Amino acid sequence: MLQIDNLHAEIDGKPILKGLTLSVSAGEVHAIMGPNGAGKSTLGYVLGGRPGYEVTDGSVTFDGRDLLGMEPHERAAAGLFLGFQYPVEIPGVSNVQFLRESLNAQRASRDEKPLSGGEFLKLARAEAAKLDINAEMLKRPVNVGFSGGEKKRNEMVQMGIIDPKLAILDETDSGLDIDALRIVGEGINRVMRRPDKAVVLITHYERLLEYVAPDFVHVLVDGRVVRSGDIELARELEREGYGAVSA
Amino acid sequence: MTLLTLPSTRQEAFRWTDVDGIAAAASLPRADAGPADAFWLDLPGDRLLFVDGELHASSRLGRAELAEVAASDHPLGSRASGRGWRLALSADAVADPVQVVHLSTGGDNHLAAEILLADDAVGTVVETYAGRGWANRFARLTLGKAARLQRAVRLLQDEGFASTRDEAELGTGASLVQIALGAGGAGSRIDAQVVAGEGAFAEFGGALLTRGTQKQECAVAVRHAEPNGQSRQYWRAVAADQSAASLAARVEVARHAQKTDGEQSLRGILLKRTATVNLKPELEIFADDVKCAHGATVGELDERALFYMQSRGVPRARAQAILTRAFVADAIERIGNEVVADAFMADADAWLERAL
Ligand SMILES: Nc1ncnc2c1ncn2[C@@H]1O[C@H](COP(=O)(O)OP(=O)(O)OP(=O)(O)O)[C@@H](O)[C@H]1O
Ligand SMILES: [Mg+2]
């Protein structure tokens, strides 16, 4: 589904990704762990097409298509979802409006007809309820005044509504309380654990992986995948730290 | 047409005024400006249509009447003093909205207005500028004790220039909420002086949207002459292409006007780096026990928010429109009447559709 080969990317002329290779097939969950500043979020942004993140070498294909040649919104319409480490606040734009615009824009690009206001609200309320986000919060401006954990759960509500094929979730577990972590973990399984879908989970904690059992665990250090393994690798990291594991 | 003597941009109060634009507007040849029908909002009450400053026979006058208005000594306002229309409400009267459409066909036209609300009277006025040429207006607003006036003004002229000068005096506990939208293709200057009495509330703001080589500006001063007054000046400017929007807002607090609460927020967004937004927030405070907050910022649309929306599937141009709309709505949604607010937002949407 996602094939990343020898990816090099820089920000403001500073190389961050330095030859990253990763292959994700349908039905798989991959976890990416790594020290602060390793380039995990950068990988997410490069895959999402954020302006300012310049790819200098390598290739990325998504379902056989050249991902890097697509506009950010085209990547979304193709089925890519990026869960943000720091979800952005948008004053003056309600969650409902934001989500409806997003969903209908994606539907339009797939030649599907837009959902009406009523249909959309029903869907949004149902998805929000699954993540303990009430209808009142849906009316509020996007992420404005949301707590850290609420922002992360809001990302999952968006994922549930958009129903993507591939989700790159950047530290969706950070800042969640114990119950929210379970709710989010279950949400990921419910929406994404399907033979035709895949997940890349960026995380610092082995804890989320207890809920969303990864098929592969990769260690990203200094812009490269330095080790890959299974859940055992995550447990080893938890015990011994990156220094020992990536040495 | 007589030779124009216009203010000079060397005068501080007119430094951003498009004086050449006024002269050019005044020399636009006359041409059919089309019907005014589309500009009426679905509201009860008077409908006054002025074509090139002359009352059109199709007008519907109930509360409003034609009248002589005392002169102003303002450089532009003085040209429009004299002949005009008047809305005078007696004590406790609550009037249906009065709609005024100023349709210009070319050349220059000048007209005065007077809005006089006696104690506790409540009035609503909605004005629309359309067509081409130079429309120059002066209005004198006098609000008695606890009177309330809501006034909304939209500038939708295709070309030319619209200049308005308002001189308002608010009695004890009176409230004036005036919101303007500049969303046409013409240049403009919104010029006002509001004097707020004891405990009066003065809100004067709006949104100026400029594109092409258009120049629009506001120059508004609110003077708190007595204690316990409140004022709000929320202005938003959105500038595209090579256009320029200028926001000059001033709060003056007289020495004994204690407990004044003034808030001023001037914000601009540049849709292109070639556009200009000028901001001039001014506070002149002589009392010591006052609360005056002010903020002034100019920037581009938030790149992070744009990417966030794009990553959810929204094309960039649409994301820009959504963010810009929210920015403009911040000022326009302060219009109390929902029909009016919706119509103004629709005009802003039409503008965005064109500019982005
Ligand atoms: N705009 C920028 N300009 C310059 N350097 C940047 C910029 N954004 C990120 N970087 C640098 O890129 C490197 C990788 O950052 P990135 O956010 O991808 O790390 P990360 O692995 O996600 O870390 P964390 O675990 O702390 O989230 C860091 O050294 C960071 O300082
Ligand atoms: Mg990160």
Q: What ipTM describes this predicted complex? A: 0.95
| Domain assignment of residue B328, yes or no | no
Q: Chain B partners of A99 at a C-beta cutoff of 8 Å?
A: 312
Cβ burial, residue B337 (10 Å; 0-12/13-18/19+): middle
- pLDDT, tens digit, 9 for 90 and up, residues B136-148: 999 999 999 999 9
- pLDDT, tens digit, 9 for 90 and up, residues B69-124: 999 999 999 999 889 999 999 999 999 999 999 999 999 999 999 999 999 999 99
DSSP state of B37: G
d(CA B153, CA B176): 13
pTM of the model: 0.90
- pLDDT, tens digit, 9 for 90 and up, residues B300-352: 999 999 999 999 999 999 999 999 999 999 999 999 999 999 999 999 999 99
Identity of the residue in B302, B314, B329 whose CB atom sits nearest the CB atom of A101: B314
Residue B272's region, left for phi above 0, alpha for psi from -120 to 50, else beta, is beta
Contact between chains at B303 and A105 (C-beta distance less than 8 A): no
| Domain assignment of residue B287, yes or no | yes
Residue B215 near residue B18, CB atoms below 8 Å: yes
Q: List beta partners, residue A8.
A: A18, A57
**Token duo for residue A95:** 């969650």
Chain B interface includes A98 (CB < 8 A): yes
| Domain assignment of residue B48, yes or no | yes
| Domain assignment of residue B163, yes or no | yes
- Beta carbons within 10 angstroms of residue A79's beta carbon: 20
- pLDDT, tens digit, 9 for 90 and up, residues A50-63: 999 999 999 999 99
Alpha carbons within 13 A on the beta-carbon side of B102: 31
Tell me, in angstroms, the distance from the centre of ligand 2 to residue A174's CA.
10
Helical segments of chain B, H only: 19-26, 77-80, 303-311, 316-332, 338-355
For chain B, what is the domain count? 1
Residue in A10, A2, A20, A19 with CA at minimum distance from that of residue A55: A10
The separation between CA B319 and the C-alpha centre of its own chain, rounded to angstroms, equals 27
Q: Chain A partners of B327 at a C-beta cutoff of 8 Å?
A: 92
Give the pLDDT mean for B42-69.
Answer: 97
Chain A interface includes B19 (CB < 8 A): no
The domain in which residue A70 lies consists of: 2-246
d(CA B288, CA B48): 45
SS3 category, B312: coil
Chain A interface includes B315 (CB < 8 A): yes
Kindly give the number of the ligand 1 atom that is closest to the alpha carbon of A171. 27
What are the CA-CA distances from residue B2 to residues B5, B23, B25, B108 (Å)?
9, 11, 14, 10
The separation between CA B195 and the C-alpha centre of its own chain, rounded to angstroms, equals 17
Q: Reply yes or no on whether the pLDDT at B210 is more than 90.
A: yes
CATH code of residue A7: 3.40.50.300
| Domain assignment of residue B320, yes or no | no
The separation between CA B117 and the C-alpha centre of its own chain, rounded to angstroms, equals 20
Q: Reply yes or no on whether the pLDDT at A117 is more than 90.
A: no
d(CA A223, CA A18): 5
d(CA A95, CA B312): 12
CA distance, residue A215 to nearest chain B CA (Å): 26
d(CA A196, CA A111): 21
| Domain assignment of residue B140, yes or no | yes
The domain in which residue B198 lies consists of: 3-301
For chain A, what is the domain count? 1
Note the pLDDT of residue B4: 65
Pocket of ligand 1 (CB under 6 A): A 11-12, 14, 16, 34, 36-42, 85
| Domain assignment of residue B356, yes or no | no
| Domain assignment of residue B310, yes or no | no
Q: Reply yes or no on whether the pLDDT at B1 is more than 70.
A: no
